[in-house]
Structure 1
Amino acid sequence: MSAMMNDAALAHTLAEEAGAMLLQLRAARPSGGKALGAEGDRVANRFILDRLLAERPDDAILSEEEKDNVARCSISRVWVIDPLDGTREYGEGRNDWAVHVALAVEGRPVVGAVALPGLGLTLASDKPPALQPEARPLRMLVSRTRPAAEAVAVAEALGAELVPMGSAGAKAMAIVRGEADIYLHTGGQYEWDNCAPAAVALAAGLHVSRIDGSPLVYNCENPYLPDLLICHRERAPEILKMIAKYATA
Protein backbone atom coordinates (compact mmCIF):
# COMPACT_ATOMS: atom_id res chain seq x y z
CA MET A 1 0.00 0.00 0.00
CA SER A 2 1.46 3.35 -1.02
CA ALA A 3 2.29 5.91 1.66
CA MET A 4 0.94 8.52 -0.80
CA MET A 5 -2.56 7.00 -0.87
CA ASN A 6 -5.10 9.67 0.09
CA ASP A 7 -7.51 9.24 2.99
CA ALA A 8 -10.50 8.28 0.84
CA ALA A 9 -8.56 5.65 -1.11
CA LEU A 10 -7.12 4.29 2.12
CA ALA A 11 -10.55 3.94 3.74
CA HIS A 12 -11.94 2.23 0.63
CA THR A 13 -9.01 -0.18 0.36
CA LEU A 14 -9.05 -1.15 4.02
CA ALA A 15 -12.80 -1.77 4.12
CA GLU A 16 -12.75 -3.80 0.91
CA GLU A 17 -9.72 -5.90 1.84
CA ALA A 18 -11.03 -6.59 5.35
CA GLY A 19 -14.33 -7.65 3.82
CA ALA A 20 -12.59 -10.08 1.47
CA MET A 21 -10.68 -11.50 4.43
CA LEU A 22 -13.93 -12.01 6.34
CA LEU A 23 -15.51 -13.83 3.40
CA GLN A 24 -12.51 -16.16 3.21
CA LEU A 25 -12.69 -16.83 6.93
CA ARG A 26 -16.38 -17.66 6.76
CA ALA A 27 -15.87 -19.98 3.80
CA ALA A 28 -13.28 -21.87 5.83
CA ARG A 29 -15.59 -22.08 8.88
CA PRO A 30 -19.00 -23.12 7.47
CA SER A 31 -20.34 -24.03 10.92
CA GLY A 32 -20.60 -20.28 11.64
CA GLY A 33 -22.13 -19.07 14.89
CA LYS A 34 -20.85 -16.83 17.69
CA ALA A 35 -17.32 -18.22 17.60
CA LEU A 36 -16.99 -17.31 13.93
CA GLY A 37 -18.29 -13.80 14.62
CA ALA A 38 -15.77 -13.29 17.42
CA GLU A 39 -12.93 -14.52 15.23
CA GLY A 40 -14.08 -12.26 12.38
CA ASP A 41 -14.09 -9.24 14.68
CA ARG A 42 -10.58 -10.04 15.88
CA VAL A 43 -9.04 -10.75 12.49
CA ALA A 44 -10.55 -7.77 10.67
CA ASN A 45 -9.74 -5.40 13.54
CA ARG A 46 -6.09 -6.45 13.64
CA PHE A 47 -5.75 -6.12 9.87
CA ILE A 48 -7.25 -2.60 9.74
CA LEU A 49 -5.37 -1.30 12.79
CA ASP A 50 -2.02 -2.62 11.59
CA ARG A 51 -2.49 -0.87 8.26
CA LEU A 52 -3.61 2.40 9.85
CA LEU A 53 -0.72 2.41 12.29
CA ALA A 54 1.65 1.99 9.34
CA GLU A 55 -0.06 4.45 6.98
CA ARG A 56 -1.29 7.14 9.40
CA PRO A 57 0.88 6.89 12.53
CA ASP A 58 0.01 10.41 13.72
CA ASP A 59 -3.76 9.89 13.62
CA ALA A 60 -5.89 8.55 16.47
CA ILE A 61 -8.03 5.41 16.22
CA LEU A 62 -11.36 4.55 17.80
CA SER A 63 -12.40 0.95 17.18
CA GLU A 64 -15.19 -1.11 18.62
CA GLU A 65 -12.74 -3.94 19.23
CA GLU A 66 -10.03 -1.97 21.02
CA LYS A 67 -9.79 -0.55 24.53
CA ASP A 68 -10.57 3.15 24.21
CA ASN A 69 -8.03 5.81 25.07
CA VAL A 70 -9.65 9.24 25.51
CA ALA A 71 -6.31 10.87 24.69
CA ARG A 72 -7.63 10.62 21.13
CA CYS A 73 -9.92 13.57 21.91
CA SER A 74 -6.93 15.92 21.77
CA ILE A 75 -6.16 14.82 18.20
CA SER A 76 -8.14 16.41 15.36
CA ARG A 77 -8.01 13.36 13.07
CA VAL A 78 -9.43 10.07 14.32
CA TRP A 79 -10.16 6.92 12.34
CA VAL A 80 -13.44 5.39 13.52
CA ILE A 81 -13.62 1.67 12.82
CA ASP A 82 -16.15 -1.11 13.07
CA PRO A 83 -14.27 -4.10 11.65
CA LEU A 84 -17.41 -6.25 11.53
CA ASP A 85 -20.74 -4.47 11.81
CA GLY A 86 -23.41 -7.13 12.12
CA THR A 87 -21.50 -9.91 13.83
CA ARG A 88 -24.67 -11.95 14.28
CA GLU A 89 -25.60 -11.73 10.61
CA TYR A 90 -22.06 -12.64 9.59
CA GLY A 91 -22.09 -15.72 11.84
CA GLU A 92 -25.50 -16.74 10.49
CA GLY A 93 -24.26 -16.70 6.89
CA ARG A 94 -26.38 -13.68 5.92
CA ASN A 95 -25.35 -10.81 3.64
CA ASP A 96 -26.56 -7.82 5.71
CA TRP A 97 -23.29 -7.12 7.52
CA ALA A 98 -20.57 -4.59 6.79
CA VAL A 99 -17.08 -3.26 7.41
CA HIS A 100 -16.82 0.42 8.42
CA VAL A 101 -13.71 2.57 7.97
CA ALA A 102 -14.13 6.31 8.54
CA LEU A 103 -12.09 9.40 9.26
CA ALA A 104 -13.51 12.15 11.44
CA VAL A 105 -11.78 15.53 11.43
CA GLU A 106 -12.66 18.06 14.12
CA GLY A 107 -15.68 15.90 14.95
CA ARG A 108 -17.07 15.74 11.41
CA PRO A 109 -17.35 12.52 9.37
CA VAL A 110 -15.35 13.62 6.33
CA VAL A 111 -14.26 10.28 4.83
CA GLY A 112 -16.01 6.93 4.96
CA ALA A 113 -16.15 3.55 3.29
CA VAL A 114 -18.69 0.83 3.97
CA ALA A 115 -17.96 -2.57 2.49
CA LEU A 116 -20.87 -4.95 1.97
CA PRO A 117 -18.83 -8.06 1.20
CA GLY A 118 -21.82 -10.37 0.96
CA LEU A 119 -23.11 -8.22 -1.90
CA GLY A 120 -19.72 -7.62 -3.49
CA LEU A 121 -20.02 -3.86 -2.96
CA THR A 122 -18.04 -1.11 -1.27
CA LEU A 123 -19.63 2.33 -1.06
CA ALA A 124 -17.40 5.29 -0.27
CA SER A 125 -17.68 9.02 0.32
CA ASP A 126 -15.42 9.94 -2.59
CA LYS A 127 -17.60 8.23 -5.22
CA PRO A 128 -21.16 7.79 -3.88
CA PRO A 129 -23.81 6.49 -6.28
CA ALA A 130 -26.47 8.80 -7.68
CA LEU A 131 -29.51 8.99 -5.42
CA GLN A 132 -32.66 7.23 -6.53
CA PRO A 133 -36.13 8.74 -6.01
CA GLU A 134 -38.21 7.65 -3.03
CA ALA A 135 -40.50 4.67 -3.56
CA ARG A 136 -44.26 4.60 -3.06
CA PRO A 137 -45.10 3.48 -0.50
CA LEU A 138 -42.06 4.61 1.44
CA ARG A 139 -39.79 1.92 2.89
CA MET A 140 -38.65 2.26 6.52
CA LEU A 141 -35.68 0.18 7.70
CA VAL A 142 -35.92 -1.38 11.15
CA SER A 143 -33.95 -3.83 13.23
CA ARG A 144 -34.49 -7.51 12.49
CA THR A 145 -34.89 -8.25 16.19
CA ARG A 146 -35.77 -4.98 18.00
CA PRO A 147 -37.80 -2.54 15.85
CA ALA A 148 -37.75 0.86 17.59
CA ALA A 149 -41.16 2.08 18.76
CA GLU A 150 -40.50 5.55 17.30
CA ALA A 151 -39.67 4.10 13.89
CA VAL A 152 -42.80 1.96 13.88
CA ALA A 153 -44.92 4.97 14.86
CA VAL A 154 -43.42 7.20 12.16
CA ALA A 155 -43.76 4.46 9.56
CA GLU A 156 -47.44 4.10 10.42
CA ALA A 157 -47.99 7.85 10.15
CA LEU A 158 -46.25 7.94 6.75
CA GLY A 159 -47.91 4.79 5.46
CA ALA A 160 -44.44 3.31 5.03
CA GLU A 161 -43.59 -0.36 4.76
CA LEU A 162 -41.29 -1.80 7.44
CA VAL A 163 -38.17 -3.46 6.04
CA PRO A 164 -36.24 -5.57 8.60
CA MET A 165 -32.47 -5.63 8.06
CA GLY A 166 -29.35 -6.47 10.02
CA SER A 167 -26.38 -4.19 10.56
CA ALA A 168 -26.40 -0.41 10.78
CA GLY A 169 -24.09 -0.18 7.80
CA ALA A 170 -26.30 -2.39 5.68
CA LYS A 171 -29.33 -0.27 6.58
CA ALA A 172 -27.66 3.05 5.84
CA MET A 173 -26.27 1.81 2.54
CA ALA A 174 -29.71 0.52 1.55
CA ILE A 175 -30.81 4.18 1.54
CA VAL A 176 -27.75 5.23 -0.47
CA ARG A 177 -28.40 2.41 -2.96
CA GLY A 178 -32.10 3.21 -3.33
CA GLU A 179 -33.25 -0.05 -1.73
CA ALA A 180 -35.05 1.81 1.07
CA ASP A 181 -36.02 5.38 1.93
CA ILE A 182 -35.77 6.01 5.69
CA TYR A 183 -33.45 4.78 8.43
CA LEU A 184 -34.63 6.00 11.82
CA HIS A 185 -32.81 4.52 14.80
CA THR A 186 -33.36 5.22 18.49
CA GLY A 187 -32.17 2.02 20.11
CA GLY A 188 -28.61 3.01 20.97
CA GLN A 189 -25.42 3.03 18.88
CA TYR A 190 -21.80 4.05 19.22
CA GLU A 191 -19.66 6.23 16.99
CA TRP A 192 -18.24 3.22 15.16
CA ASP A 193 -21.74 2.05 14.24
CA ASN A 194 -22.55 5.10 12.15
CA CYS A 195 -19.48 7.24 11.36
CA ALA A 196 -18.59 5.57 8.05
CA PRO A 197 -22.29 5.22 7.01
CA ALA A 198 -22.86 8.89 7.87
CA ALA A 199 -19.89 10.01 5.77
CA VAL A 200 -21.10 8.04 2.75
CA ALA A 201 -24.73 9.13 3.14
CA LEU A 202 -23.76 12.81 3.49
CA ALA A 203 -21.55 12.59 0.42
CA ALA A 204 -24.47 11.09 -1.51
CA GLY A 205 -26.61 14.12 -0.64
CA LEU A 206 -28.85 12.55 1.99
CA HIS A 207 -30.02 14.10 5.24
CA VAL A 208 -28.07 12.71 8.22
CA SER A 209 -28.70 13.90 11.78
CA ARG A 210 -29.62 13.04 15.34
CA ILE A 211 -33.38 12.63 15.85
CA ASP A 212 -33.57 16.18 17.22
CA GLY A 213 -32.12 17.47 13.96
CA SER A 214 -28.64 18.22 15.35
CA PRO A 215 -25.54 16.94 13.55
CA LEU A 216 -23.73 13.74 14.46
CA VAL A 217 -20.49 14.65 16.25
CA TYR A 218 -17.55 12.26 16.52
CA ASN A 219 -14.43 11.76 18.63
CA CYS A 220 -16.31 12.57 21.83
CA GLU A 221 -14.98 11.38 25.19
CA ASN A 222 -18.05 9.15 25.51
CA PRO A 223 -18.51 7.45 22.11
CA TYR A 224 -22.16 6.58 22.80
CA LEU A 225 -24.27 8.05 19.96
CA PRO A 226 -27.71 6.57 20.47
CA ASP A 227 -29.89 7.80 17.59
CA LEU A 228 -29.87 8.94 14.00
CA LEU A 229 -32.01 9.69 10.98
CA ILE A 230 -30.97 9.09 7.37
CA CYS A 231 -33.42 9.98 4.61
CA HIS A 232 -33.89 12.23 1.60
CA ARG A 233 -33.39 15.88 2.50
CA GLU A 234 -36.86 16.88 1.40
CA ARG A 235 -38.42 14.27 3.71
CA ALA A 236 -36.40 15.19 6.82
CA PRO A 237 -38.47 18.13 8.19
CA GLU A 238 -41.65 16.03 8.17
CA ILE A 239 -40.00 13.10 9.94
CA LEU A 240 -38.24 15.26 12.52
CA LYS A 241 -41.56 16.91 13.35
CA MET A 242 -43.19 13.49 13.78
CA ILE A 243 -40.39 12.33 16.07
CA ALA A 244 -40.73 15.43 18.22
CA LYS A 245 -44.50 14.94 18.43
CA TYR A 246 -44.04 11.30 19.42
CA ALA A 247 -41.50 12.24 22.10
CA THR A 248 -43.91 14.69 23.74
CA ALA A 249 -47.04 12.54 23.43
Structure 2
Amino acid sequence: MTIRDDHALATDLATEAGERLLEIREGFDDPAALRAKGDRAAHVFLMEALARLRPSDSVLSEEATREERLDPRRLSASRVWIVDPLDGTREYAEEGRTDWAVHVALWEQGSLTAGAVALPAQGRTLNTAAPPKLPVHDGGRFRIAVSRSRPPEFVQRLAYLVGADLVPIGSAGAKISAVLTGEVEAYVHAGGQYEWDSAAPVAVAQAAGAHTSRIDGATLSYNQADPSLPDILVSLPDLAPTLLAGIRDLHR
Protein backbone atom coordinates (compact mmCIF):
# COMPACT_ATOMS: atom_id res chain seq x y z
CA MET A 1 0.00 0.00 0.00
CA THR A 2 1.53 3.32 -1.08
CA ILE A 3 0.68 6.24 1.18
CA ARG A 4 1.06 9.72 -0.25
CA ASP A 5 -1.28 11.73 2.00
CA ASP A 6 -4.55 11.43 3.92
CA HIS A 7 -6.65 11.46 0.74
CA ALA A 8 -4.62 8.61 -0.72
CA LEU A 9 -4.68 6.72 2.58
CA ALA A 10 -8.47 6.93 2.80
CA THR A 11 -8.75 5.73 -0.79
CA ASP A 12 -6.29 2.88 -0.33
CA LEU A 13 -7.86 1.66 2.90
CA ALA A 14 -11.46 1.79 1.64
CA THR A 15 -10.49 0.06 -1.59
CA GLU A 16 -8.51 -2.71 0.06
CA ALA A 17 -11.20 -3.33 2.68
CA GLY A 18 -13.69 -3.61 -0.17
CA GLU A 19 -11.51 -6.10 -2.03
CA ARG A 20 -11.32 -8.23 1.10
CA LEU A 21 -15.09 -8.08 1.46
CA LEU A 22 -15.52 -9.28 -2.11
CA GLU A 23 -13.27 -12.26 -1.40
CA ILE A 24 -15.21 -13.14 1.76
CA ARG A 25 -18.51 -12.81 -0.12
CA GLU A 26 -17.66 -15.62 -2.55
CA GLY A 27 -19.02 -19.02 -1.65
CA PHE A 28 -21.16 -18.00 1.35
CA ASP A 29 -24.72 -19.33 1.54
CA ASP A 30 -25.52 -18.15 5.10
CA PRO A 31 -26.43 -14.43 4.96
CA ALA A 32 -26.20 -13.90 8.74
CA ALA A 33 -22.77 -15.49 8.96
CA LEU A 34 -21.61 -13.53 5.91
CA ARG A 35 -22.73 -10.23 7.39
CA ALA A 36 -20.99 -10.96 10.67
CA LYS A 37 -17.75 -12.13 9.07
CA GLY A 38 -17.62 -9.24 6.60
CA ASP A 39 -18.29 -6.61 9.25
CA ARG A 40 -15.66 -8.01 11.57
CA ALA A 41 -12.96 -8.60 8.96
CA ALA A 42 -13.27 -5.10 7.47
CA HIS A 43 -13.29 -3.50 10.93
CA VAL A 44 -10.17 -5.36 12.07
CA PHE A 45 -8.34 -4.53 8.84
CA LEU A 46 -9.13 -0.81 9.09
CA MET A 47 -8.36 -0.53 12.80
CA GLU A 48 -5.03 -2.34 12.47
CA ALA A 49 -4.05 -0.32 9.40
CA LEU A 50 -4.86 3.02 11.02
CA ALA A 51 -3.11 2.06 14.24
CA ARG A 52 0.00 1.24 12.21
CA LEU A 53 -0.10 4.10 9.71
CA ARG A 54 -1.64 6.93 11.77
CA PRO A 55 -0.83 5.89 15.36
CA SER A 56 -1.44 9.36 16.83
CA ASP A 57 -4.97 9.67 15.42
CA SER A 58 -8.23 8.58 17.04
CA VAL A 59 -10.78 6.36 15.32
CA LEU A 60 -14.58 6.15 15.51
CA SER A 61 -15.89 2.98 13.88
CA GLU A 62 -19.39 1.57 13.63
CA GLU A 63 -18.04 -1.78 14.80
CA ALA A 64 -16.26 -0.37 17.86
CA THR A 65 -17.45 -1.29 21.32
CA ARG A 66 -19.66 1.12 23.25
CA GLU A 67 -16.72 1.87 25.56
CA GLU A 68 -14.49 2.70 22.59
CA ARG A 69 -17.11 5.02 21.12
CA LEU A 70 -17.49 6.84 24.45
CA ASP A 71 -13.73 7.22 25.00
CA PRO A 72 -13.39 10.93 25.89
CA ARG A 73 -9.97 11.13 24.24
CA ARG A 74 -11.70 11.13 20.85
CA LEU A 75 -13.48 14.39 21.68
CA SER A 76 -10.24 16.22 22.45
CA ALA A 77 -8.32 14.76 19.52
CA SER A 78 -7.43 17.04 16.60
CA ARG A 79 -7.65 14.20 14.07
CA VAL A 80 -10.29 11.46 14.10
CA TRP A 81 -10.89 8.82 11.43
CA ILE A 82 -14.59 8.00 11.10
CA VAL A 83 -15.15 4.65 9.41
CA ASP A 84 -17.95 2.31 8.48
CA PRO A 85 -16.26 -0.98 7.60
CA LEU A 86 -19.35 -2.29 5.81
CA ASP A 87 -22.14 0.13 4.99
CA GLY A 88 -25.16 -1.85 3.82
CA THR A 89 -24.71 -5.26 5.41
CA ARG A 90 -28.12 -6.39 4.14
CA GLU A 91 -27.20 -5.65 0.53
CA TYR A 92 -23.75 -7.19 0.99
CA ALA A 93 -25.36 -10.49 1.93
CA GLU A 94 -27.77 -10.47 -1.02
CA GLU A 95 -26.34 -12.14 -4.11
CA GLY A 96 -25.77 -9.78 -7.00
CA ARG A 97 -26.41 -6.52 -5.15
CA THR A 98 -23.89 -3.75 -5.70
CA ASP A 99 -25.33 -1.00 -3.46
CA TRP A 100 -23.09 -1.45 -0.41
CA ALA A 101 -19.91 0.39 0.51
CA VAL A 102 -16.87 0.95 2.72
CA HIS A 103 -16.44 4.39 4.31
CA VAL A 104 -13.18 5.97 5.47
CA ALA A 105 -13.16 9.67 6.43
CA LEU A 106 -10.84 12.00 8.32
CA TRP A 107 -12.20 14.74 10.60
CA GLU A 108 -9.78 17.48 11.61
CA GLN A 109 -10.56 20.25 14.09
CA GLY A 110 -14.20 20.62 13.11
CA SER A 111 -14.22 19.66 9.44
CA LEU A 112 -14.10 16.62 7.21
CA THR A 113 -10.82 16.98 5.32
CA ALA A 114 -10.39 13.66 3.50
CA GLY A 115 -12.52 10.68 2.66
CA ALA A 116 -13.25 7.80 0.34
CA VAL A 117 -16.25 5.63 -0.41
CA ALA A 118 -15.44 2.27 -1.95
CA LEU A 119 -18.21 0.62 -3.94
CA PRO A 120 -16.45 -2.72 -4.33
CA ALA A 121 -19.13 -4.56 -6.30
CA GLN A 122 -19.24 -1.63 -8.73
CA GLY A 123 -15.46 -1.62 -9.11
CA ARG A 124 -14.91 1.99 -8.08
CA THR A 125 -13.89 4.21 -5.19
CA LEU A 126 -15.00 7.84 -4.95
CA ASN A 127 -12.59 10.08 -3.06
CA THR A 128 -11.72 13.62 -2.05
CA ALA A 129 -8.44 13.62 -3.98
CA ALA A 130 -10.26 13.49 -7.32
CA PRO A 131 -13.96 13.99 -6.57
CA PRO A 132 -16.50 13.25 -9.28
CA LYS A 133 -17.62 16.08 -11.53
CA LEU A 134 -21.21 16.82 -10.59
CA PRO A 135 -23.81 16.24 -13.32
CA VAL A 136 -25.95 19.16 -14.47
CA HIS A 137 -29.67 19.01 -13.80
CA ASP A 138 -31.75 19.83 -16.87
CA GLY A 139 -34.42 21.64 -14.88
CA GLY A 140 -37.08 18.95 -15.26
CA ARG A 141 -38.34 16.24 -12.97
CA PHE A 142 -35.63 14.84 -10.71
CA ARG A 143 -34.93 11.75 -8.62
CA ILE A 144 -34.48 11.30 -4.85
CA ALA A 145 -32.68 8.27 -3.43
CA VAL A 146 -34.47 6.60 -0.52
CA SER A 147 -34.18 3.50 1.62
CA ARG A 148 -35.15 0.23 -0.02
CA SER A 149 -37.04 -1.04 2.99
CA ARG A 150 -38.16 2.00 4.98
CA PRO A 151 -38.45 5.21 2.95
CA PRO A 152 -39.52 8.00 5.34
CA GLU A 153 -43.16 8.86 4.85
CA PHE A 154 -42.34 12.54 4.75
CA VAL A 155 -39.94 11.98 1.83
CA GLN A 156 -42.78 10.42 -0.12
CA ARG A 157 -44.84 13.54 0.52
CA LEU A 158 -41.85 15.74 -0.32
CA ALA A 159 -41.40 13.99 -3.66
CA TYR A 160 -45.04 14.66 -4.53
CA LEU A 161 -44.71 18.29 -3.48
CA VAL A 162 -41.56 19.09 -5.48
CA GLY A 163 -42.26 16.83 -8.45
CA ALA A 164 -39.64 14.14 -7.93
CA ASP A 165 -39.46 10.38 -8.35
CA LEU A 166 -38.20 8.09 -5.58
CA VAL A 167 -35.39 5.64 -6.34
CA PRO A 168 -34.77 2.86 -3.77
CA ILE A 169 -31.04 2.26 -3.15
CA GLY A 170 -29.32 0.23 -0.43
CA SER A 171 -26.65 1.77 1.77
CA ALA A 172 -26.28 5.45 2.66
CA GLY A 173 -22.91 5.53 0.95
CA ALA A 174 -24.40 4.11 -2.22
CA LYS A 175 -27.21 6.67 -2.11
CA ILE A 176 -24.91 9.67 -1.73
CA SER A 177 -22.56 8.25 -4.36
CA ALA A 178 -25.55 8.00 -6.70
CA VAL A 179 -26.05 11.76 -6.36
CA LEU A 180 -22.43 12.36 -7.31
CA THR A 181 -22.48 10.02 -10.31
CA GLY A 182 -25.79 11.15 -11.81
CA GLU A 183 -28.02 8.18 -10.98
CA VAL A 184 -30.18 10.48 -8.83
CA GLU A 185 -30.14 14.18 -8.05
CA ALA A 186 -30.77 14.12 -4.30
CA TYR A 187 -30.79 12.01 -1.15
CA VAL A 188 -33.09 12.88 1.74
CA HIS A 189 -33.24 10.86 4.94
CA ALA A 190 -34.77 11.25 8.37
CA GLY A 191 -35.23 8.42 10.79
CA GLY A 192 -31.95 7.45 12.35
CA GLN A 193 -28.32 7.37 11.28
CA TYR A 194 -24.91 7.81 12.84
CA GLU A 195 -21.79 9.74 11.93
CA TRP A 196 -20.13 6.74 10.29
CA ASP A 197 -23.11 6.34 7.94
CA SER A 198 -22.39 9.63 6.21
CA ALA A 199 -18.95 11.07 7.09
CA ALA A 200 -17.00 9.62 4.16
CA PRO A 201 -19.64 10.16 1.45
CA VAL A 202 -20.30 13.67 2.77
CA ALA A 203 -16.56 14.43 2.61
CA VAL A 204 -16.54 13.39 -1.04
CA ALA A 205 -19.78 15.25 -1.76
CA GLN A 206 -18.41 18.45 -0.24
CA ALA A 207 -15.20 18.11 -2.25
CA ALA A 208 -17.31 17.70 -5.39
CA GLY A 209 -19.33 20.84 -4.62
CA ALA A 210 -22.64 19.18 -3.75
CA HIS A 211 -25.03 20.56 -1.13
CA THR A 212 -24.81 18.75 2.23
CA SER A 213 -26.81 19.61 5.36
CA ARG A 214 -29.33 18.49 7.91
CA ILE A 215 -32.88 18.55 6.55
CA ASP A 216 -33.46 21.90 8.28
CA GLY A 217 -30.43 23.35 6.50
CA ALA A 218 -28.14 23.16 9.53
CA THR A 219 -24.51 22.15 9.16
CA LEU A 220 -23.62 18.48 9.52
CA SER A 221 -21.35 18.12 12.57
CA TYR A 222 -19.01 15.20 13.23
CA ASN A 223 -16.94 13.84 16.12
CA GLN A 224 -19.66 14.67 18.62
CA ALA A 225 -20.06 13.03 22.04
CA ASP A 226 -23.28 11.46 20.78
CA PRO A 227 -22.53 10.08 17.30
CA SER A 228 -26.22 10.06 16.32
CA LEU A 229 -26.83 12.10 13.16
CA PRO A 230 -30.43 11.23 12.35
CA ASP A 231 -31.19 13.20 9.19
CA ILE A 232 -29.41 14.41 6.08
CA LEU A 233 -29.86 16.12 2.74
CA VAL A 234 -27.37 15.74 -0.10
CA SER A 235 -28.23 17.14 -3.49
CA LEU A 236 -27.06 18.96 -6.56
CA PRO A 237 -26.56 22.59 -5.44
CA ASP A 238 -29.32 24.11 -7.56
CA LEU A 239 -31.96 21.75 -6.14
CA ALA A 240 -31.19 22.39 -2.46
CA PRO A 241 -33.36 25.53 -2.11
CA THR A 242 -36.37 23.72 -3.56
CA LEU A 243 -35.90 20.70 -1.31
CA LEU A 244 -35.29 22.75 1.85
CA ALA A 245 -38.35 24.89 1.13
CA GLY A 246 -40.44 21.77 0.55
CA ILE A 247 -39.24 20.23 3.81
CA ARG A 248 -40.10 23.44 5.71
CA ASP A 249 -43.58 23.44 4.18
CA LEU A 250 -44.17 19.85 5.25
CA HIS A 251 -43.10 20.53 8.83
CA ARG A 252 -45.29 23.58 9.37
Using structure 1 for the length normalisation, give the TM-score.
0.96
Letter in 1 for 2:94: E
Tell me the distance in 2 between the aligned counterparts of 1:247 and 1:110. Answer: 33
Decide whether aligned partners of structure 1 residues 104 and 161 sit closer, same or farther in structure 2, where only a CA change above 3 A counts. Answer: same
Contact 1:134 1:178 (8 Å CA) reproduced: no
Cα distance in 2, alignment partners of residues 32 and 165 from structure 1: 23
Which residues in structure 2 correspond to 1:1-249 (within 5 Å)?
A: 1-2=1-2, 5-29=4-28, 31-67=29-65, 68=69, 69-93=71-95, 94-134=97-137, 136-248=140-252
AA paired with 1:171?
K
Please report how far the alpha carbon of residue 144 of structure 1 lies from its aligned counterpart in structure 2 after TM superposition.
0.3
Aligned residue identity for 1:34: A
Q: 1: distance between equivalents of 2:126 and 2:109?
A: 23
Q: Equivalent pairs: percent with the same residue? A: 50
Q: Give the secondary-structure state (helix, strand or coil) at the position aligned to 1:28.
A: coil
Residue type matched to 1:39 in 2? K
Q: Compute the displacement of 1:237 (Å).
A: 1.4
The RMSD of aligned alpha carbons is 1.1
Contact 2:61-2:196 at 8 Å conserved across structures: yes
Look up the equivalent residue of 1:88 and give its one-letter code: R
Give the Cα–Cα distance (whole angstroms) in 2 for the partners of residues 97 and 189 of structure 1.
Answer: 16
Give the distance between the partners of 2:72 and 2:141, measured in 1 at CA. Answer: 44
Shift of residue 91, structure 1, vs aligned partner? 0.7
Structure 1 residue 34: deviation in Å?
A: 1.6
Task: Could you tell me which runs of 5 or more consecutive residues in structure 2 were left unpaired when the two chains were aligned.
Answer: none
CA distance, structure 1, for counterparts of residue 154 and residue 124 of structure 2? 30
CA contact (8 A) 2:162 2:246 kept: no
Find the aligned partners of 1:244 and 1:111 in 2 and give their Cα distance.
31
Residues 190-248 of structure 1, C-alpha deviations (whole Å, 9 max, x = no match):
00000001000011110000111111111000000000100111211121111112112
Give 1:221's aligned amino acid.
Answer: A
Cα deviation for residue 32 of structure 1 reads: 4.2
1:180 is paired with a residue whose SS is coil
Note if contact 1:82-1:192 (Cα within 8 Å) is conserved in structure 2.
Answer: yes
Matched residues, number: 246
